[in-house]
Chain A
Amino acid sequence: MTVRHHLTDETLLSYAAGDLDDATSLVVASHLALCPVCRADVDMAEDIGGVMLDDVVPVSMSDDALAHVLARAETSSRDPEQPVEMAASKPAGGYVFPEPLRSRIGGDLASVKWRRIGPGVQQYVLPCRDDASQARLLRIAGGQGVLQHGHTGEEFTLVLAGGFSDGDQAFARGDVEWADQDIVHRPIADDGDGCVCLAVTSGPLQFFDFVGKIVQRFVRI
């Protein structure tokens, strides 16, 4: 599997700097688990943070800071070198959701409590720690799509299973589609098993037809 649709450099840089809201961080981190290319870029962006930390003008610590930390170090246990979760715990077919998404949901695909929001479309809204952006899982049946919509903010859609197409572009597991105010689109899930994706939006979507407007009143998409 090779990811073809990546996150932009400026998004990766902001993730490394710690500037992104919770939901956007969640979609970025989940993409990173599936994309070694973007992961390498985040490594490099974090190196920029390391260099800036090195070069900052230091500020004196309080007098007893070192003694305080040494005293706490005395009584604290060291974290083990080996990770707790070993590959042995991997289920036979592999996880659909990578970390940190799996922890946020509290399980893999089978544990999602879906809610139907339209023909062939189900959603699950994820808990987030700030409301700057909303994160939701979408499960779209084969050949079905989200109604044509525009955006009032940014939208990141990460494919987790199956795939979808949008115009002449195809998206598969690990791929991210990005859209903003200037883009109106209608993604359609691939025939067959359809598509499961994580969608993060920083503003309400704009639907243009009557049905979409009615649906929106009820599901707050």
Chain B
Amino acid sequence: MTGGSITPETAEGASALMQRVAEDADRQAFELLFRHFAPRVKAYMLKLGTAESLADELAQETLLTVWRKAPQFDRSKASPSTWIFTIARNLRIDAFRKISRPELDPNDPALVPDPEEPQDDRVNRLQRADVIREAMRTLNDDQAAVVRLSFFEDMSHSAIAEQLDLPLGTVKSRLRLAFARIREAVGDELE
């Protein structure tokens, strides 16, 4: 990973760039991450109904947080895209609020620890994105719609039910089926 041609397009590439930012405060690596992720985070904010200028601001804030927290990024726990998604999600929810989103603290002494995970599974976190992407392509339109509304429209189950003119139970069961399908695909991949 010493060449200058690392691309943020892949989870491996983005992860290598993250490492450079974390260890060397590498500005060029950060710039590549910014050019890739900031416009995507902005699109995410806009889809959630954020005004243009605030969306731009929140995307900047997200990438600044990436810079600041880069040393905490753990490639064995999440892909860069997942990590950046959670930062963007929390910044949006916390904008203009005094109390921050309830998040678990991985360093809390009261946390019940994970069972020991085989080394292979941890390496697979970076490849898992591809498995999930494939699995999402196999969702039927109904299932894909409720997942999209959950992530990109900030809709509660009952709001989704209202928008799609469906009973609440149907929305929940579609989400459950979509999730089961993706979990199954990830499970198969790890075996």
What 1/0 flags go to A141-159 for Cβ under 8 Å of B?
0000000000000000000
CB-CB nearest in chain B for A52: B151
Please state if A22 and B99 are interface contacts (CB–CB under 8 Å).
Answer: yes
Query: How far apart are the CA atoms of A97 and B71 in the complex, in Å?
Result: 28
Q: Does A68 contact B (CB under 8 A)?
A: yes
Please state if A51 and B136 are interface contacts (CB–CB under 8 Å).
Answer: yes
Query: How far apart are the CA atoms of A80 and B90 in the complex, in Å?
Result: 20
Please state if A53 and B44 are interface contacts (CB–CB under 8 Å).
Answer: yes
- CB within 8 Å of A: which B121-157 residues: 128-129, 132-133, 136, 147-148, 150-152, 154-157
Known: A18-B154, A76-B64. A33 touches B133 (CB 8 A): no
Please state if A53 and B81 are interface contacts (CB–CB under 8 Å).
Answer: yes
CB-CB nearest in chain B for A65: B60
Q: Does A111 contact B (CB under 8 A)?
A: no
Q: How far is the CB of A184 from chain B (nearest CB, A)?
A: 18
Query: How far apart are the CA atoms of A58 and B68 in the complex, in Å?
Result: 23
Please state if B102 and A174 are interface contacts (CB–CB under 8 Å).
Answer: no
Please state if B72 and A99 are interface contacts (CB–CB under 8 Å).
Answer: no
Q: How far is the CB of B171 from chain A (nearest CB, A)?
A: 8
- Residues of chain A with a CB closer than 8 A to B156's CB: 14, 19-21
Q: Which of A41-49, A114-122, A187-195, A206-214 contacts B (4 or more CB under 8 A)?
A: A41-49
What 1/0 flags go to B44-74 for Cβ under 8 Å of A?
1011000000011001100110011111100
Q: Does B112 contact A (CB under 8 A)?
A: yes
- CB within 8 Å of A: which B65-124 residues: 67-72, 77-79, 81-86, 88-90, 92-93, 97-99, 101-115
Please state if A61 and B42 are interface contacts (CB–CB under 8 Å).
Answer: yes
Please state if A19 and B183 are interface contacts (CB–CB under 8 Å).
Answer: no
CB-CB nearest in chain B for A96: B110
8 Å CB contact of B68 from A1, A54, A76? A76
Query: How far apart are the CA atoms of A141 and B93 in the complex, in Å?
Result: 37
Query: How far apart are the CA atoms of A101 and B172 in the complex, in Å?
Result: 27
Query: How far apart are the CA atoms of A99 and B35 in the complex, in Å?
Result: 35
Q: Does A25 contact B (CB under 8 A)?
A: yes
Please state if A47 and B84 are interface contacts (CB–CB under 8 Å).
Answer: no
- Residues of chain B with a CB closer than 8 A to A46's CB: 78, 82, 85-86
Please state if A9 and B110 are interface contacts (CB–CB under 8 Å).
Answer: no
What 1/0 flags go to B28-41 for Cβ under 8 Å of A?
00110011011111
Please state if B56 and A129 are interface contacts (CB–CB under 8 Å).
Answer: no
Q: Does A55 contact B (CB under 8 A)?
A: yes
Query: How far apart are the CA atoms of A14 and B154 in the complex, in Å?
Result: 9
Q: Does B175 contact A (CB under 8 A)?
A: yes
Candidate in A52, A72, A85, A100 with the most chain B CB atoms within 10 angstroms: A52
Q: How far is the CB of B105 from chain A (nearest CB, A)?
A: 4
**B residues near A, CB below 8 A?**
25, 27, 30-31, 34-35, 37-44, 46-47, 55-56, 59-60, 63-64, 67-72, 77-79, 81-86, 88-90, 92-93, 97-99, 101-115, 128-129, 132-133, 136, 147-148, 150-152, 154-157, 171-172, 175-176, 179-180, 182-183, 186
CB pairs A–B below 8 angstroms (24 shown): A8-B176, A9-B175, A18-B93, A34-B110, A34-B112, A44-B128, A47-B82, A47-B129, A50-B85, A53-B81, A56-B43, A56-B152, A58-B39, A59-B42, A59-B43, A61-B59, A69-B63, A77-B68, A78-B67, A78-B70, A79-B69, A98-B108, A100-B102, A129-B97
Q: Which 4 A-B pairs have the closest CB atoms?
A: A50-B82, A58-B39, A50-B81, A90-B109
Given contact pairs A45-B179, A81-B71, A94-B110, a sample of 6 additional A-B residue pairs in the complex whose CB atoms are under 8 Å apart: A9-B175, A43-B77, A47-B128, A58-B42, A78-B70, A98-B104
